[in-house]
């Protein structure tokens, strides 16, 4: 038995070493020697001797990697005749040593001399690749380059329209300890996950209450800055107790709402803005309290503040009135002239005189919007000096079909316009007194 005349099988332990671009930079092997065969023959000379009865030859290779790359190891039997070679307990061991140590200020600037091993690692702060060509010292976040010594991006945030309350060049809302910006497109709040469900619910609740119900808070950033983190920590700790629900009714509603936010965030990904997340949380929170828990909210913040916050969330005036007892038609109308006039009518003739604002209609021959609706009159509100009566005539015809009167309110209409409208059967009033004389009769 032999191979190439020496009787030794061509069986090997092999390795191939590549650089980061898969270019081969080194290779080697260790061949099985006659030592294994001798061991077998020393135990048994029978042809059917089991390899398990033989001693083993130890094959070892040592490879020094002087740069980053890839190591491939494999076993092979390249003998040119039928011979069995058995390998067992194949392992790859790596010598343990420090590759690199870096210490950072919160915004990513190093404050101590880095400790580096022989292999250079460029993926440093937040796992981002350092661009050190020409001594720039920038980090590549994908969408933008980040300069840690300034704590600023060099170009506008591609999602700045979703975070209009802060500078589009700022990094992590100027608070990298609280926020994490993984791809430079939208900061996320890792504390939502780290604080657990109860801590996240408490945090979102505080931010929502600050943002929507506190008149002194004008931005989302201010709302976060006023969070009581001790309270958040307490809620997180209480959440570890199975039978403890932090915050009572408010806490349960907040916990349900933050679950909705996490689901939406998972589905929408980077397109899910913090503004939208906060709005979704607040809507879910209020919806859960609508069955009777609003009283706790109004008791803490005041009914009018809660009503204003619900208006900012997009709830209509009638629903807000049902929840808080505060009726303000500006919550249902984007035109303050309409909202203020509807409020004046209710103030003068009693709450409930106005039944709706911005009510649309559609018939077989026409369609339109009625700005203010009462039991006996439909009121259209305009502010231009020139009055176009085409739509007004359609609105009047629709009102007549309902058995109601029709009034056109225009505080800027001149006398000639009023007379012209009267010739076409359209009643025009220019102030609350004139309107009251008609509604009150």
Inter-residue contact 317 to 303 (CB < 8 Å): no
Among 38-52, 62-76, 234-248, 382-396, name the one with the lowest average pLDDT: 38-52
| The pLDDT value given to residue 398 | 92
Find the length of the chain.
441
Looking at the domain 333-439, which fold is it? Trna Endonuclease; Chain: A, domain 1 (3.40.1350)
| The pLDDT value given to residue 108 | 85
| The pLDDT value given to residue 52 | 47
Q: State the pLDDT confidence band at 179, using cuts at 50, 70 and 90.
A: low
List the beta strands (DSSP E) in 305-437.
354-362, 367-374, 377-381, 405-409, 427-429
Contact partners, residue 51, CB within 8 Å, separation at least 6: 40, 84, 86
Both structure tokens of 32: 């099985």
Instruction: Report the share of the chain in percent with pLDDT over 90.
Output: 15
Q: Return the higher-pLDDT residue of 132 and 255.
A: 132
Closest CA to 69 of 104, 33, 106, 24: 24
Inter-residue contact 367 to 346 (CB < 8 Å): no
- Domain residue spans of the chain: 1-96, 104-188, 194-312, 333-439
Q: Return the higher-pLDDT residue of 388 and 193.
A: 388
What's the chain's average pLDDT?
77
| The pLDDT value given to residue 403 | 93
Q: Return the higher-pLDDT residue of 16 and 172.
A: 16
HSE-CB for 77 with a 13 A CA cutoff: 9
Judge whether residue 41 has pLDDT over 70: no
Element (H, E) at 73: strand 69-77
Integer Rg of the chain from CA? 38
What CA–CA distances, in Å, run from 153 to 143, 163, 169, 407?
10, 15, 5, 56
pLDDT tens-digit series, residues 116-128: 555 667 888 888 8
Contact partners, residue 408, CB within 8 Å, separation at least 6: 379, 380, 382, 387, 392, 421, 426, 427, 428, 429
Inter-residue contact 330 to 311 (CB < 8 Å): yes
End-to-end, the C-alpha distance of the chain in Å comes to: 123
| The pLDDT value given to residue 242 | 39
Judge whether residue 143 has pLDDT over 50: yes
Q: Provide mean pLDDT across the span 374-395.
A: 87
Q: Whole-angstrom Cα distance, residue 396 to residue 407? A: 8
pLDDT tens-digit series, residues 278-317: 777 777 777 666 555 566 667 767 788 788 877 777 778 8
Inter-residue contact 280 to 263 (CB < 8 Å): no
Q: Whole-angstrom Cα distance, residue 189 to residue 163? A: 14
pLDDT tens-digit series, residues 237-270: 655 443 344 455 666 666 667 666 766 765 676 6
| The pLDDT value given to residue 244 | 44
């Amino acid at each position: 038995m032999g191979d190439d005349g020496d009787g030794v099988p061509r069986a090997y332990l092999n390795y191939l070493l590549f650089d980061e671009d898969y270019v081969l930079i080194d290779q080697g092997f260790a061949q099985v020697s006659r030592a294994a065969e001798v061991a077998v023959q020393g135990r048994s000379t029978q042809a059917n001797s089991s390899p398990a009865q033989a001693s083993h030859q130890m094959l070892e290779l040592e490879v020094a990697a002087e740069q980053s790359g890839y190591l491939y190891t494999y076993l092979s039997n390249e003998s040119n005749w039928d011979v069995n070679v058995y390998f067992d307990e194949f392992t790859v061991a790596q010598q343990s040593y420090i590759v690199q140590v870096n210490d950072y200020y919160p915004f990513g600037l190093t404050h101590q001399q880095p400790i580096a091993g022989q292999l250079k690692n460029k993926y440093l702060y937040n796992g981002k690749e350092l661009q050190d060509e020409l001594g720039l010292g920038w980090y590549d976040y994908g969408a933008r380059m980040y300069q840690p010594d300034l704590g600023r991006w060099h170009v506008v945030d591609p999602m700045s329209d979703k975070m209009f309350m802060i500078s589009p060049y700022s990094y992590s809302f100027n608070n990298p300890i609280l926020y994490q910006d993984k791809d430079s497109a939208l900061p996320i709040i890792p504390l939502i996950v780290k604080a657990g469900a109860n801590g996240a619910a408490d945090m979102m609740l505080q931010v929502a209450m600050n943002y929507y119900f506190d008149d002194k808070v004008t931005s989302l950033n201010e709302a976060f800055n006023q969070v009581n983190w001790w309270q958040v920590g307490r809620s997180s700790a209480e959440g570890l107790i199975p039978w403890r629900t932090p915050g009572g009714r408010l806490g349960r509603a907040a916990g349900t709402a933050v679950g909705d936010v996490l689901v939406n965030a998972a589905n929408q990904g980077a397109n899910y803005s913090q503004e939208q997340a906060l709005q979704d949380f607040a809507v879910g929170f209020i919806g859960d309290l609508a069955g009777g828990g609003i009283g706790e909210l109004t008791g803490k913040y005041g009914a009018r503040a809660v009503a204003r916050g619900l208006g900012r969330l997009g709830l209509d005036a009638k629903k807000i009135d049902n929840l808080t007892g505060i009726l303000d038609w500006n919550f249902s109308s984007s035109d303050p002239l309409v909202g203020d006039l509807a409020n004046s009518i209710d103030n003068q003739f009693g709450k409930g005189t106005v039944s709706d604002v911005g009510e649309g209609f559609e018939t077989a021959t026409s369609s339109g919007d009625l700005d203010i609706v009462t039991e006996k009159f439909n009121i259209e509100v305009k502010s231009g000096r020139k009055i176009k009566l085409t739509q007004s005539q359609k609105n009047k015809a629709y009102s007549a079909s309902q058995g109601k009167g029709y009034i056109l309110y225009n505080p800027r209409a001149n006398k000639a316009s009023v007379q012209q409208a009267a010739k076409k059967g359209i009643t025009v009033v220019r102030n609350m007194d004139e309107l009251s004389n008609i509604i009150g009769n």
